[in-house]
């Protein structure tokens, strides 16, 4: 079946766990991976008589995020209770924000390669997470882990502005990048610190009115979101083609089967009976405090991309790669500033450094090769002290030992030899060992120069300065060719 007649309309609800040390309304730790129910207290257990107190750090991070997404942060917003019964919801309600959210009306610029598009942000509001129902720990029973209960979240709701699964993916990647730059969240879908619910509908191209939407949940990666959207869009188009109607369901994505199935829980029938949380006054933000947050915002991806391109004369592809992650970008910039060679810094960071990270050798903070060490290595190459090949070896030794480049090069005898006497000795040995090639080279077959340089490099175990070897070979050939 062709879906060509139809257009996909997507809006995304993204839940982001804020990177605070303590929970949204109590002092319990937010550490991931603690033993069940260890990070709990009367407040997040919902014990009778306990009361919530707003975590200011969470409000600060939420405000940072909202401002950076171009939202208007409201001087007064209101916490509300969302009432429903569930075993992992200790109070029988979730503290969230409803009709007076923290922030509204922002935008995110996305680029799918087909030009930039603006995606509207409807609202950003604060809320607390629920606990976790554990079904596989005790056979036939469900256990409750409330470590996560009360962990601070923001929900970022987009306008239904995306028209393809690819745009949805681009939006999510851009959003993740912004939040990562801000340091407000770990933004890891794997650890659940970023969760995506998608609202999707289909309509005939050219149609203004929105079709009936369904909500798709349970995607565990951005690519899963894209696949789920394609799947659901195709399903809806099929229904419309057959003259059937789309029913407003919630569907759960099954990554193993690559399909979304209608959820058995009747979400639509819930009446959450929202009302203002009487245990917390309105959240009133001081305008001066908000201005301070605005001033303290870090450079965001768009700005950094532009700056890298102009400061370091890099092409767009390199800039994108280097700014994908704020820590990578900061690492690169430190190396580039220290060496004054943006291109070399870019190559090293995208090559060896990225490889090290990919190999699971730790995070940026844990990398034993600090930007200053890498800058020293790059300078050594430029100054002819080490060959490029030797430099790669030095880098991996630096990563293992944590020692500076010069020390590693010295200890492992990897410093380049530029001394003419030593080089001439190796050249003579090579010429003796390879008389045929030497004769032809001296005889004028200059294209063999590279081969001979290679032999010298091999003989010197990579330490010979290839530039000088070339020069010496040329000199030798000219001398031997002589006047006769």
Partner 1 sequence: MKQTDFADMPASVIAARVAAGSLDPVQAVAASFAMSREKKSGRDGLNLVLWSDEKLATADASVLKETMGPRGEGGSLAGVPVAVKDNIATLGLPTTCASRILAGYVSPFEATAVTRLRAAGAIVVAKTNMDEFAMGSSTENSAYGPARNPHDLRRVTGGSSGGSAGAVAAGIVPIALGSETGGSVRQPASFCGIVGVKPTYGRVSRYGLVAFASSLDHIGVMARNVDDAALAMQAIAGLDPRDSTSADVPVAPYCEEFVSIATTPSPLEGLTVGVPAEYFPEMLDPGIRALCDRALDALRSLGAKIRKVALPHTSLAIPVYYIIAPAEASSNLARFDGVRYGRRESGTASLREMFGDTRSEGFGPEVTRRILLGTYVLSAGYYDAYYRKAQSVRTLIAGDFARVFAGGVDVLFTPTTPSTAFSIGQITDPYEMYMSDIFTATANLAGVPAMSIPIGRESGLPVGGQLIAGHFAEAAMFRVAYALEAALGGQAHQ
- What are the residues binding partner 1 (CB under 8 A)? 42, 45-54, 81, 83, 85, 87, 90-93, 144, 271, 273-275, 278-281
- Select 25 or 331, whichever has its Cβ closest to partner 1: 25
- Select 149 or 456, whichever has its Cβ closest to partner 1: 149
**Least distance to partner 1 from the beta carbon of 63, Å?**
18
**Least distance to partner 1 from the beta carbon of 32, Å?**
22
- Select 265 or 313, whichever has its Cβ closest to partner 1: 265
**Least distance to partner 1 from the beta carbon of 285, Å?**
15
**Least distance to partner 1 from the beta carbon of 281, Å?**
6
Three-class SS of the chain:
CCCCCEEEEEEEEEEEECCCCECCCCCCECCCCCCCCCCCCHHHHCCCCCCCCCCHHHHHHHHHHHHHCCCEECCEECEEEEECCCCCCCCCEEEEECCCCCEEEEEEEEECCCCEEEEEEEEEEEEECCCEEEEEEECCEEEEECCCCCCEEEEEEECCCECCHHHHHHHHHHHHHHHHHHCCCCCCCCCCCEEEEEEEEEEECCCCCCCCCEEEECCCCHHHHHHHHHHHHHHHHHHHHCCCCCCCCEEEEECCCCEEEECCCCHHHCCCCCEECCCCCCEECCHHHHHHHHHCCCCCHHHHHHHHHHHHCCCHHHHHHHHCCHHHHHHHHHHHHHHCCHHHHHHHHHHHHHHHHHCCCCCHHHCCCCHHHHHHHHHHHHCCCCCHHHHHHHHHHHHHHCCCHHHHHHHCCCCCECCHHHHHHHHHHHHHHCHHHHHHHHCCCHHHHHHHHHHHHHHCCCCECHHHHHHHHHHHHHHHHCCC
- Select 270 or 310, whichever has its Cβ closest to partner 1: 270
**Least distance to partner 1 from the beta carbon of 142, Å?**
8
**Least distance to partner 1 from the beta carbon of 28, Å?**
14
- Select 53 or 262, whichever has its Cβ closest to partner 1: 53
- Select 91 or 463, whichever has its Cβ closest to partner 1: 91
**Least distance to partner 1 from the beta carbon of 282, Å?**
11
- Select 82 or 463, whichever has its Cβ closest to partner 1: 82
């Amino acid at each position: 079946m062709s879906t060509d007649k139809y257009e996909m309309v997507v809006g995304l609800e993204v839940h982001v766990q804020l990177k605070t040390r303590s929970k949204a309304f109590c002092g319990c730790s937010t550490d991931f991976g603690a033993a069940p129910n260890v990070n709990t207290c009367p407040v997040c257990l919902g014990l009778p008589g306990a009361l919530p107190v707003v975590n200011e750090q969470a409000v600060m991070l939420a405000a940072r995020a909202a401002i950076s997404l171009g939202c208007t942060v409201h001087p007064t917003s209101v916490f509300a209770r969302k009432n429903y019964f569930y075993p992992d919801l200790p109070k029988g309600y979730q503290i969230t924000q409803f009709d007076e959210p923290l922030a509204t009306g922002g935008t995110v610029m996305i680029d799918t390669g087909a030009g930039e598009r603006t995606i509207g942000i409807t609202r950003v509001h604060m809320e607390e997470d629920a606990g976790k129902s554990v079904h596989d720990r005790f056979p036939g029973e469900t256990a409750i882990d409330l470590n996560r209960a009360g962990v601070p979240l923001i929900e970022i709701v987009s306008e239904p502005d995306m028209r393809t699964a690819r745009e949805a993916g681009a939006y999510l990647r851009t959003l993740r990048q912004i939040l990562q730059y801000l340091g407000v969240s770990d933004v890891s879908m794997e650890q659940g610190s970023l969760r995506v619910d998608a609202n999707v509908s289909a309509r005939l191209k050219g149609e203004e009115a929105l079709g009936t939407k369904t909500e798709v949940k349970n995607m565990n990666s951005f690519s899963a979101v894209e696949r789920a959207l394609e799947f659901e869009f195709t399903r809806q188009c099929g229904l419309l083609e057959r003259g059937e109607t789309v029913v407003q369901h919630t569907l759960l994505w099954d990554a193993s089967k690559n399909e979304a199935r209608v959820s058995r829980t009747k979400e639509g029938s819930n009446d959450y009976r929202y009302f203002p949380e009487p245990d917390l006054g309105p959240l009133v933000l001081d305008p001066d405090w908000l201005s301070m947050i605005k001033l303290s915002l870090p450079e965001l991806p768009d700005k950094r991309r532009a700056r890298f391109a102009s400061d370091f004369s890099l092409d767009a592809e390199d800039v994108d790669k280097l700014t994908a992650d704020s820590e990578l970008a900061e690492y690169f910039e430190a190396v580039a500033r220290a060496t004054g060679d943006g291109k070399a810094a870019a190559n090293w960071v995208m090559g060896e450094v990225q490889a090290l990270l990919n190999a699971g050798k730790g995070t940026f903070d844990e990398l034993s090769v600090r930007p200053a060490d890498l800058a020293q290595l790059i300078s050594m190459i430029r100054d002819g002290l080490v060959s490029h090949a030797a430099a790669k070896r030095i880098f991996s030794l630096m990563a293992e030992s944590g020692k500076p480049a010069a020390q590693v090069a010295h200890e492992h005898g990897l410093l380049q030899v530029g001394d003419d006497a030593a080089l001439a000795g190796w050249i003579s040995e090579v010429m003796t060992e390879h008389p045929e090639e030497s004769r032809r080279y001296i005889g004028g077959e200059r294209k063999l120069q590279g081969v001979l340089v290679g032999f010298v490099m091999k003989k010197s175990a990579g330490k010979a300065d290839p530039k000088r070897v070339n020069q010496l070979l040329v000199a030798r050939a000219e001398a031997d060719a002589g006047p006769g």
